[in-house]
Amino acid sequence: MSNHRPIGIFDSGLGGLTVAKEIYRLLPNESTIYIGDTARVPYGNRSREAVTQFTQELIDALLTLDVKAVVIACGTASSVALPNLQDAYKQIPIIGVIEPAAENAVSVTTSNHIGVIGTQATIASNSFGNFIKKSNPHIEIHNQSCPLFVPIVEEGIINDHPILLEAIKHYLNKLQQTQIDTLILGCTHYPIISHAIADYLPGVNLINAGVSVAQELNHLLINNHIENTSAKSPRHRYFVTDINQNFEEVAQTFLGKQISIEKIAI
Ligand code: DGL
């Protein structure tokens, strides 16, 4: 039987839309509900306790909206909160971005040097590195936190603006001197600026977690017999915890379509 309930997706802000976009592409029958926690973005410099509390509140909000699965489309929440929460939410399938992106990176590297960029919390947790090492202990990990990238994207500075180019140079110049052939965009905001990152690191494979997350979600829906097989037009709703104009503008540019946002109280 076809399951029409939506998939819940959330992030601290705009970043999770990079995952949502890949889900729309791979699973065109599925309806979704997106929440951007714009009132509390960024998460990346907050404590584990705070990120875990926010994550719990967002999952609860999505459950109230009757979602059939939850995608934690945030590298930070996936790194520091998901491992503690999975047991608490056994009633619903939940996936994060770490394992799918790490697996993808392991499968494409040939130099066995993988770079990981993310928020301070994600890099401090070494979540990607731990997973990669388990899968292949010979791979060398080159971690770099890029705390300014999230506020830059949230501000809508996403074209080749000098502020963005300067931040990229500032954070990525050390990686330029390594043998990495693969770079995990370990924060879901980063695919929005991947054109500029690619220009700075030519020839390096950039791993957008959204692509692998959408594939993993597909398997999860099929395995749990909750996929929507009917080709009726899906509905995509967008909630934020604080309305700001940037969100709508950047989201529309990135998704290439008009959206309307609704406010949700968490
Ligand atoms: N998109 C979130 C991530 O993937 C951004 C975290 C933040 O708000 O700092 O980590």
Q: Is the dihedral of CA 77, 83, 85, 86 positive or negative?
A: positive
Residue 56's φ and ψ, nearest 5 degrees, are -60, -45
pLDDT for the residue numbered 217: 98
Q: pLDDT tens digits, residue range 183-238? A: 999 999 999 999 999 999 999 999 999 999 999 999 999 999 999 988 778 999 99
Q: pTM for this one? A: 0.96
Residues flanking ligand 1, CB < 6 Å = 11-13, 15, 41-44, 74-76, 118-119, 122, 150, 187-189
* Alpha-carbon gap, residue 24 to 213, rounded angstroms: 12
In the chain, which residues have pLDDT < 70?
Answer: 1
Q: Which residue of 76, 128, 190, 192 sits with most ligand 1 atoms within 8 Å of its CB, as the best mutation to test the pocket?
A: 76
Cα separation, 19 vs 27, whole angstroms = 12
> What pLDDT, on the 0 to 100 scale, is given for residue 1?
59
Give me the pLDDT at residue 80, please.
96
E strands, 64-181, are 69-72, 94-95, 113-118, 140-145
Q: Which of 27, 74, 82, 117 is catalytic?
A: 74
Residue nearest to atom 8 of ligand 1 (CA): 42
**How many whole angstroms from 114 Cα to the centroid of ligand 1?**
20
User: Cα(136)–Cα(48) distance, rounded to whole angstroms?
Assistant: 27
Residue 223: both structure tokens together: 């395995």
